């Protein structure tokens, strides 16, 4: 990839003009659509799957995404359950792109094949998040690099921007550092985030020891400031540190307004934790705007995508300014990568795990972050 393209991609995630509109108008920025409740795994911390339910039909999914788009939503995040268990996932991605959505998909990656990656790319998928919690599976979570590492090769030539996200809890903490290094050393934007409680505010798993967690979050903040590809904003890292310290954070939850969720039954959900019985087909822009208010569940909220969008809407200058600064620090490493390729030097510089090591599909250049948006084909 040419140098200018690389620098462009470093900043393309912001989609500044289009995202900018959503910071100042009253339309939604992002919807997370549960493509299915079904899942092929059973992570102990998770409350977001239910194998007693069947997949929604592709016709229903298409009807809901049309409505979501009509509301002015720019970005759609396909989630679940496990979205790749849905037999029509490629068709759904294609349809979302035809409607003009910036489209991402979050997966545990177990069902990925090279053929499926190519199909999803051809359908127009722009961003894929693969969730990886550990190096090896455990009783709490099977999402480990043992399964995922061989699959990363499928993305070598792919245009899909890949990033990796892990959950930190007592079970995964000892391996969280290795997960981070493994992703980063391959040039893949990577993040590990604190486990959150269930809708009844109970932790399903031991969340881990506070001081240790805080040290880990601090180390990610430092690395983020150095320009490493930690796949979350400094604002969200700061937020997690405040959660651990029990500090109050001043923010207004924009969930149900700037971002919202749609369940695999087509119900409008404020977020993954707060559900309503209203059908998405009956939702109006006024309904959405009414949800822009401080909420009783804000203290300790672990729906980081919602916190992220809320902070972005509230303090766009501060959040984006820091992110742009961090990404600017990556530009010299892009020059390094280019000159390394020209000189045929295979060693990535400045990575902590030089053994681990090929850069993936130019995601070394910071693919679009699901938190901030991806380029749209057309405006809404």
Ligand X SMILES: C[S@@+](CC[C@H](N)C(=O)[O-])C[C@H]1O[C@@H](n2cnc3c(N)ncnc32)[C@H](O)[C@@H]1O
Footprint of ligand SF4 (CB under 6 A): 39, 41-43, 46, 48-49, 80-82, 108, 253, 255, 270-271, 273-274, 295, 297-298, 301, 303, 306
Q: CB 112 → ligand SF4: shortest distance, Å? A: 13
Q: CB 302 → ligand SF4: shortest distance, Å? A: 7
Nearer CB in complex with ligand X: 15/165:
165
Binder of ligand X out of 1, 16, 23, 46 (CB under 6 A)? 46
- Give yes or no for residue 196 binding ligand X (CB under 6 A): yes
- Give yes or no for residue 108 binding ligand X (CB under 6 A): yes
- Give yes or no for residue 268 binding ligand X (CB under 6 A): no
The angle that helices 170-185 and 210-225 make with each other, rounded to 10 degrees, is 20
Q: CB 94 → ligand X: shortest distance, Å? A: 20
Q: Which of 183, 53, 199 is nearest to 131 (CA)?
A: 183
Binder of ligand X out of 18, 48, 175, 323 (CB under 6 A)? 48
Nearer CB in complex with ligand SF4: 68/167:
167
With CB under 5 to 8 Å by kind, the binding choice for 298 among ligand SF4, ligand X, none is: ligand SF4
251: number of Cβ within 10 Å? 18
Pick the piece of the chain touching ligand X (CB under 6 A) from 13-21, 44-52, 177-185, 334-342.
44-52
Q: CB 131 → ligand X: shortest distance, Å? A: 3
How far apart are alpha carbons 2 and 117 in whole angstroms?
23
With CB under 5 to 8 Å by kind, the binding choice for 165 among ligand X, ligand SF4, none is: ligand X
Pick the piece of the chain touching ligand X (CB under 6 A) from 16-24, 105-113, 224-232, 258-266.
105-113
- Give yes or no for residue 167 binding ligand X (CB under 6 A): yes
- Give yes or no for residue 15 binding ligand X (CB under 6 A): no
With CB under 5 to 8 Å by kind, the binding choice for 107 among ligand SF4, ligand X, none is: ligand X
Q: CB 72 → ligand X: shortest distance, Å? A: 25
Q: CB 350 → ligand X: shortest distance, Å? A: 27
Burial (0-12, 13-18, 19+ Cβ within 10 Å), 219: middle
Site for ligand X in 326-345 (CB under 6 A): none
Binder of ligand X out of 73, 165, 240, 365 (CB under 6 A)? 165
Nearer CB in complex with ligand X: 167/283:
167
Pick the piece of the chain touching ligand X (CB under 6 A) from 39-47, 65-73, 238-246, 368-376.
39-47
- Give yes or no for residue 45 binding ligand X (CB under 6 A): yes
Are 68 and 282 in contact, with CB atoms under 8 Å apart? no
The tokens describing 35, both together, are 């493509």
Residues in touch with ligand X (CB under 6 A): 39, 45-46, 48, 79-80, 82, 106-108, 131, 165, 167, 195-196
């Amino acid at each position: 990839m040419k140098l200018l393209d690389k620098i462009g991609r470093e900043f393309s995630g912001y989609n500044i003009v289009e995202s900018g509109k959503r910071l100042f108008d009253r339309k939604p920025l992002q919807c997370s659509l549960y493509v299915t409740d079904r899942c092929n795994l059973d992570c102990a911390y998770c409350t977001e799957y239910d194998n007693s339910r069947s997949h929604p039909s592709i016709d229903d999914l298409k009807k809901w995404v049309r409505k979501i788009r009509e509301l002015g939503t720019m970005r759609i995040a396909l989630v679940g359950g496990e979205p790749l268990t849905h037999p029509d996932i490629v068709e759904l991605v294609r349809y979302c792109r035809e409607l003009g959505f910036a489209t991402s998909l979050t997966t545990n990656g177990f069902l990925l094949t090279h053929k499926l990656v190519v199909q999803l790319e051809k359908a127009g998928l722009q961003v894929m998040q693969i969730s990886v919690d550990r190096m090896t599976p455990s009783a709490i979570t099977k999402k480990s690099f043992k399964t995922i590492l061989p699959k990363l090769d499928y993305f070598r030539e792919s245009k899909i921007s890949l990033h990796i996200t892990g959950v930190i809890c007592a079970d995964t903490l000892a391996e969280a550092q290795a997960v981070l290094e493994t992703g980063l050393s391959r040039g893949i934007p990577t993040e590990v985030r604190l486990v959150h409680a269930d809708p009844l505010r109970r932790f399903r798993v031991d969340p881990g020891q506070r001081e240790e967690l805080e040290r880990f979050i601090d180390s990610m903040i430092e690395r983020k400031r150095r320009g490493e590809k930690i796949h979350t904003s400094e604002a969200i890292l700061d937020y997690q540190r405040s959660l651990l310290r029990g500090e109050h954070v001043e923010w207004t939850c924009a969930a149900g307004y700037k971002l919202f969720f749609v369940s695999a039954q087509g119900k409008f959900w404020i977020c993954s934790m707060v559900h309503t019985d209203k059908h998405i087909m009956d939702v109006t822009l006024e309904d959405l705007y009414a949800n822009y208010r401080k909420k009783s569940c804000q203290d300790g909220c672990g729906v980081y995508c919602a916190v992220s969008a809320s902070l972005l809407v509230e303090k766009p200058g501060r959040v984006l300014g820091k992110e742009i600064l961090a990404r600017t620090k990556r530009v010299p490493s892009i020059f390094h990568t280019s000159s390394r390729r020209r000189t045929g030097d295979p060693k990535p510089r400045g990575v902590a795990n030089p053994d681990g090591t090929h850069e993936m599909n130019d995601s070394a250049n910071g693919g679009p972050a699901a938190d901030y948006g991806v380029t749209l084909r057309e405006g809404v």
